Amino acid sequence: MSRYRITGLSPEPFATLGALDDASLRAHGMRRIVADSPNGYPCRISLADAAPGDSVLLLTFEHHACDGPYRSSGPIYVREGATAASYDDALPAFLRTRTLSLRAYDADGWMRGARVVAGADADAALAELLDDADATEVHAHNARTGCFMCRIDRV
């Protein structure tokens, strides 16, 4: 299997959002939410579920900014004050508990393949997708809600 790396989103683009009040967030199509369960608010920066009581922001994020039909954006959670996590050749635990849609893309942003799989079984599907020499990245989405979870880059 090809080697891969998963890196959480940079916290910098989101750093100033925590200072906004709820009305200002809503005016920009965002919401502040306090996590009320241990596995319902996956942070795309820390690559972990927020703990109950943590403050998260729900906002739209463009995760595939290619020139073509697969350009995509969607809702994500970011935990206020989170730092970016990174994983080499391993999936973060928060992916293992969800049904995933894995979508492989080439360097031009064109889809090369896709799989829907239980997160606990994602290793084999990821290996298949990365066996395509033209696949440079795989996007993991929550298959139930459609939310972007993370990008998996071939290294």
| pLDDT of res. 2 | 76
Counting residues of the chain whose pLDDT is more than 90, the rounded percentage is 97
Beta strands in the chain (DSSP E): 4-7, 31-34, 42-43, 48-49, 55-64, 72-79, 86-88, 99-105, 111-118, 137-142, 148-154
Residue ranges in the chain modelled with pLDDT below 70: 1
Residue 5, pLDDT score: 97
Q: What does the pLDDT look like over 15-38, one tens digit per residue?
A: 999 999 999 999 999 999 999 999
CA atoms of 116 and 102, how far apart (whole Å): 6
Instruction: Give dist(CA 59, CA 17) in Å, integer.
Output: 10
Res 4: pLDDT: 97
What was the pLDDT predicted at 126?
97
